[in-house]
Amino acid sequence: MLRHFVRRLLASAATLVVITCVMYTVIRSLPGEPFAGDEDQGGAARGEAFPGSAHTGEPLPIGYAMWLADVARLDLGHSLSVQPGRPVASMLAEAIPYTLALGAFSLTLTLGLAIPLGVLSAWRPESLASRGGGWILYGLHALPAFWIALALQQLVAGTWRMLPPFGAGPLVGSEAGAPGMMERLPYWILPTLAVSLGSLAFVIRFCRAGLLEQTATEVVRAARARGAGQARVLWIHALAGCAVPLVSLLGLMLPGVVSGGVLVESIFALPGVGRLFFTAASRRDYPVVMAVSLLTGVATLGANLLADTLYGVVDPAMRRQPAAGGPPTPRDGEMA
């Protein structure tokens, strides 16, 4: 298991180098000026105050090597146009907590509702409620997140005036008179719903399909032969068989917790990583764009590495190392 983890860690590091190389090359190849600042910002807006930021003035191979060396020292450069002269690392430090909060809320809501609803959907798959719910889920999954966000903002916040339409306030109310957590909680409801509804539909369908597949395995048939009821079969035996696919799905969802929703954060005026990326891209602030892209790549690789590690936790069969170096062969009745 440890040898497999080390191999995956080295492979992830090599993949990250390739990702950064492609990212740096693509961004450097974009047409136009490196950024578009306001004319009244003077030299800082024209990049004269920070000529070495992201090393865009150097030849491509040399600039990439210098930028990679800066990243290794945790120096992400300075902003050129979003907040001229400010270190990108401090901008990310302010934006990441908002994105993590939104991602944690949406992931908790998605998994907290998707698994029970998936079990209920698999309880009687041919019933009218299950089929009707499936059509509703298909419709939710087809709707883009920004459309859901605008609809919620217009209907719930605008027409019904039940929740704040945008903003989140400070995450930590340290100053006197700052709102507490309960006062700030209503600001997060609509963004969380906007991010969660589409993924909720997909995870419910994914869980339902996996449970129905598991009900045909020998493990579940043996449990039924021993007299296990439908609830025990679904919640214990079938759901345990879906653990590995659910961990794989979680590994695909975790990067979104860090990268954030670009349009959702912009619509609800959340000062997170997604909104920072949108603003930096519109102003051609290359150091910020590359820093956010790097963060997204690290989050994706880290989530995949975490999922690979959790495979051995949820399924002991995955801990066995085959002699040929291929993937372990699952036992009878297990999902591949």
Task: State pLDDT tens for residues 186-218.
Answer: 888 999 998 888 788 888 888 888 888 888 788
Confidence of residue 175 (pLDDT cuts 50, 70, 90): very low
With beta carbons less than 8 A apart as the criterion, state whether 8 and 301 touch.
no
| pLDDT value of residue 170 | 61
Inform me whether the pLDDT recorded for 333 exceeds 50. Answer: no
Confidence of residue 320 (pLDDT cuts 50, 70, 90): low
Please name which of 99, 104, 112, 118 lies closest in space to residue 266, comparing C-alpha atoms.
99
Which tens digits make up the pLDDT trace of 43-98?
444 444 444 567 777 888 898 999 999 998 988 888 888 888 899 999 999 999 89
**Phi, psi (deg, nearest 5) at residue 4:** -65, -40
What's the start-to-end Cα distance of the chain, in Å?
18
Please state the pTM of the whole predicted model. 0.79
**Residue 82 CB partners (closer than 8 Å, separation 6+):** 91, 276, 279, 280, 283, 285, 288
Fold held by 92-319: MetI-like fold (1.10.3720)
Mean pLDDT of the chain: 79
Q: Which residue has the higher pLDDT, 180 or 334?
A: 180
- CB-based contacts of 211-219 (< 8 A; 24+ apart in sequence): 211/118, 211/119, 211/122, 211/238, 211/239, 211/242, 212/122, 212/125, 213/335, 214/238, 214/239, 214/241, 214/242, 214/335, 215/122, 217/241, 217/333, 217/334, 217/335, 218/332, 218/333, 219/333, 219/334
With beta carbons less than 8 A apart as the criterion, state whether 89 and 53 touch.
no
In whole angstroms, what is the distance from residue 239 CA to residue 213 CA?
Answer: 11
Q: Is 228 left (phi over 0), alpha (psi -120 to 50) or beta?
A: beta
Inform me whether the pLDDT recorded for 325 exceeds 60. Answer: no
In whole angstroms, what is the distance from residue 42 CA to residue 108 CA?
Answer: 46
| pLDDT value of residue 93 | 93
Q: Which residue ranges does the chain devote to CATH 1.10.3720.10? A: 92-319
